[in-house]
Structure 1
């Protein structure tokens, strides 16, 4: 049984990854855990559209029944779901037996605060499901009118008699919801384009689910006017725009590139994203501008031109209309919130590196970085450095710039880079890996050991060099840090 703590979506996926020895890849606002081992084959991914608004996708086949004991906190989020393929079982503590959630069925689950619920996904079935997780307490912090309206709609639709009791709604088989859920489940991308594909389908799926609950309706004949092949080609629109992001790209130019008529292009974009083609192009440019704010020190004018706008005032206006903040206010919100920045990387040491050099690097990291409010963890093993660096963005970026220019490091590969809400380490933690594959994590006075050979088999040099291993090491260290702080 997997005992799952309700937490941020990224932390919950980390718990899945540790349980299944999965390969967890994180991007800004998205993450994906892939397994291909004795536990099963497939992936679980998530997309955080806003803090408090997340899509969670299963596209996986487990070798054994997966039993999840979900331990809820007191925020009481809404769990909207749809089984595209396969089925699952669910029960609250007061239930005598499990309730079956069928393939093609629309469902909504709202927990009792500080309680639990069990979910079972049967083994050896192609399980494809989309969950939309909404935390109203986090979502209401958004200044975007459409998101505030969503909270109002949820409150009006789900008027619970006793908010301390759990709520469960299993609706009819609903083909319209299934069409949107299928788009979400089959989208394997976690980059900016993948997030926009998911965001459009999620919003339309959620609207259909709320409507289905309100009217208990069954719409059996909803189908898009395009073939799957045409819809697939339309999802490539984002790649083409990003490749030409500094240019003014027209809808006609895109339709020629995708070999699809402008009318079908407009229809397909409207179906996939809920926007017109021009609105989608604008949204893609603005999302890319946010990404540049997160990952670079470019000023607002530089970012404006980098995403294809020639007028800073126009760029600021449409950014404000879309996200509820001006670009400057959006960037400043990170500084005011004192959010932490994290860079986790793996690098190869120069062949001439001596043990003295290694000791010097580790000693500097442990003694000097805390004075810049930087904490983290460092490993050196078989000529490979692995570090997790966390702290204020300016200081972290400065340190990483120095690391990049340090002759003792080469072939630097970033495992993760982005903002996070909380610090994982109170000070500078040391982790070591033995030649036998034992990971020893020393965090805040506690030491935990894990046999990495259980994850990847024999730890030969090719395994040690792999990004897959170091992503798993990062996840293990972070989970141990969370448990030590708890």
Structure 2
């Protein structure tokens, strides 16, 4: 049984990854856990549309029945789901029998605060399912205008008699919802284009589920006159626009490139994304501008021109209308001390490095890191360093640049870097994990139960360079850090 804690989406997916010995790849606002081992084959991915609004996608086949004991918080999130392929079983506490959620069935579950629920996904079936998880408490904190409509729709549709009782709705087989769920599940991209494909389908799927719950199934707008081949071609619109992001790209030009009529192009964009063609192009440019703010030191004017706008004031206006913050305010939020930057890297130790040298590296880190509000963890195994460092972006990048220029490190490879909302190593100035007998430094942090030596001891020297391996190490360390803080 997998005992799953209801936490932030990435931490929940990390629990899956460690349980199934999976490979977890993280992107901004998206992540994907893949397995191809004795546990099964396929993937589970997530997309965070807004804080408190997340989509989970299962496209996986398990070798054994997966029994999940889901431990809920007191926030009472809504779980909207649709099984495209396969089925699952669910029951609340004190229920003797499981309820079956069939293939093609729309379902909605709201938990009792601080309770649990069991789910079973049977083995040896191609299980494809999309969950939309909405946490109203987190959603209320967002400044994005579109969240107001979501909260209103939920409040109007789900007026529960007793807020402490669990709620379960199993709807009829509904091909309309399945149309959007299938788009979400079959889209494996986690980049900016993949996120927009998924976001559009998620919003349409959620609206259809609320309509189904309200017994309003009169709309036929979900049907598309386009073939699957034509819809597939339209998904490449994002790649074309990004390749020409600084230029003005017309619908006619895109239509010619994709070999599809302008009318069908606009119809397909509306079907896939829920936007008009111009709205979609605007959203793509704005999403790319956010990525430039995260990954470069370009100023707002430079970013404005880089994404194809000639007027900074117009760019700022549509950015504010879309995301609830001006570009400068949005960027400042990521430079705020409350938002942390995280870099995980693997490096090879210089050949002549001794245990005494490693002791010195760790002791200096423990001495100076607190001055710059940096925490993290370091692994030293078979002359390989793996380190997670977190703190204010400027200080973390300065430290990492020093590491890259340090002759004692070579072949430095970044496994992940990006922003995050909370610190995962509150009391670990630089926790150390190692089974190298020559190290004399004190093992700091709650690291003794990680059993990383069992994982690392199974692999040969060549496999130590595997990014997959070090992503697993990262997940194990971070899960342990979160459990220690709980």
TM-score by length of 2: 0.94
Residue 360 of structure 1 is matched in structure 2 by 360
Which SS does the other structure have where 2:255 is aligned?
helix
Which SS does the other structure have where 1:427 is aligned?
coil
Structure 2 residue runs of 5 or longer lacking an equivalent are: none
Q: Is the 8 A contact 2:362 2:430 kept in 1?
A: no
Residue 431 of structure 2 is matched in structure 1 by 430
Structure 1 residue runs of 5 or longer lacking an equivalent are: none
* Alignment partners' CA distance in 2, 1:211 and 1:379: 52
- The answer to whether residue 163 in structure 2 is matched with residue 139 in structure 1 is no
Q: Offset at 1:423? A: 1.1
Q: Offset at 1:320? A: 0.7
* Alignment partners' CA distance in 2, 1:380 and 1:398: 22
Q: Is the 8 A contact 2:88 2:100 kept in 1?
A: yes
Residue 415 of structure 1 is matched in structure 2 by 415
Task: Map 1:192-203; keep pairs closer than 5 Å.
Answer: 192-203=192-203
Q: Offset at 1:361? A: 2.8
Q: Is the 8 A contact 1:175 1:220 kept in 2?
A: no
Task: Map 1:228-377; keep pairs closer than 5 Å.
Answer: 228-336=228-336, 338-351=338-351, 353=353, 355=355, 357-377=357-377
Do the aligned partners of residues 482 and 280 (structure 1) sit closer, same or farther apart at CA in structure 2, a change above 3 Å counting? same
Do the aligned partners of residues 155 and 98 (structure 1) sit closer, same or farther apart at CA in structure 2, a change above 3 Å counting? same
* Alignment partners' CA distance in 2, 1:184 and 1:366: 45
Q: Offset at 1:75? A: 0.4
How many residues align? The count is 482
Do the aligned partners of residues 451 and 323 (structure 1) sit closer, same or farther apart at CA in structure 2, a change above 3 Å counting? closer
* Alignment partners' CA distance in 1, 2:210 and 2:352: 63
Q: Is the 8 A contact 1:295 1:417 kept in 2?
A: no
Q: Is the 8 A contact 1:142 1:148 kept in 2?
A: no
Residue 13 of structure 2 is matched in structure 1 by 13
Task: Map 1:458-469; keep pairs closer than 5 Å.
Answer: 458-469=458-469
- The answer to whether residue 74 in structure 2 is matched with residue 74 in structure 1 is yes
Task: Map 1:134-173; keep pairs closer than 5 Å.
Answer: 134-173=134-173
* Alignment partners' CA distance in 1, 2:269 and 2:344: 36
* Alignment partners' CA distance in 2, 1:288 and 1:64: 41
Residues 348-384 of structure 1 deviation map (CA, whole Å, 9 limit, x = unaligned):
3444555554443333222211210001011233332
* Alignment partners' CA distance in 1, 2:371 and 2:432: 21
Query: Greater CA deviation, 384-393 or 356-365?
Result: 356-365
Residues 156-198 of structure 1 deviation map (CA, whole Å, 9 limit, x = unaligned):
0000000000000000111110000000001111111111111
Residues 268-322 of structure 1 deviation map (CA, whole Å, 9 limit, x = unaligned):
1111111122211111111111122223332212222222222211110110111
* Alignment partners' CA distance in 2, 1:17 and 1:128: 18
Residues 329-352 of structure 1 deviation map (CA, whole Å, 9 limit, x = unaligned):
112234457111111112234445
Q: Is the 8 A contact 1:349 1:408 kept in 2?
A: yes
Q: Is the 8 A contact 2:380 2:436 kept in 1?
A: no
Do the aligned partners of residues 229 and 350 (structure 1) sit closer, same or farther apart at CA in structure 2, a change above 3 Å counting? farther
Do the aligned partners of residues 408 and 262 (structure 1) sit closer, same or farther apart at CA in structure 2, a change above 3 Å counting? farther
Which SS does the other structure have where 1:389 is aligned?
strand
Q: Offset at 1:213? A: 0.5
* Alignment partners' CA distance in 1, 2:301 and 2:204: 34
Query: Greater CA deviation, 409-418 or 471-480?
Result: 409-418
* Alignment partners' CA distance in 2, 1:221 and 1:306: 36
Q: Is the 8 A contact 1:349 1:384 kept in 2?
A: yes
Which SS does the other structure have where 1:215 is aligned?
coil
Residue 30 of structure 2 is matched in structure 1 by 30
Do the aligned partners of residues 355 and 333 (structure 1) sit closer, same or farther apart at CA in structure 2, a change above 3 Å counting? same
Residue 447 of structure 1 is matched in structure 2 by 448
Do the aligned partners of residues 27 and 222 (structure 1) sit closer, same or farther apart at CA in structure 2, a change above 3 Å counting? closer
Q: Is the 8 A contact 1:442 1:448 kept in 2?
A: no
* Alignment partners' CA distance in 1, 2:453 and 2:258: 46
Residue 53 of structure 1 is matched in structure 2 by 53
- The answer to whether residue 380 in structure 2 is matched with residue 387 in structure 1 is no
Q: Is the 8 A contact 1:67 1:121 kept in 2?
A: yes
* Alignment partners' CA distance in 1, 2:101 and 2:298: 49
* Alignment partners' CA distance in 2, 1:263 and 1:445: 60
Query: Greater CA deviation, 202-211 or 405-414?
Result: 405-414
* Alignment partners' CA distance in 2, 1:204 and 1:242: 25
User: What RMSD over aligned residues (CA atoms) do the two structures have, in Å?
Assistant: 2.2
Residue 98 of structure 2 is matched in structure 1 by 98
Residues 117-142 of structure 1 deviation map (CA, whole Å, 9 limit, x = unaligned):
00000000000000000001111112
Q: Is the 8 A contact 1:106 1:173 kept in 2?
A: yes
TM-score by length of 1: 0.94
Query: Greater CA deviation, 244-253 or 427-436?
Result: 427-436
Residues 241-287 of structure 1 deviation map (CA, whole Å, 9 limit, x = unaligned):
22222222222222222222222211111111111222111111111
Q: Offset at 1:66? A: 0.3
* Alignment partners' CA distance in 1, 2:41 and 2:218: 33
Task: Map 1:463-478; keep pairs closer than 5 Å.
Answer: 463-478=463-478
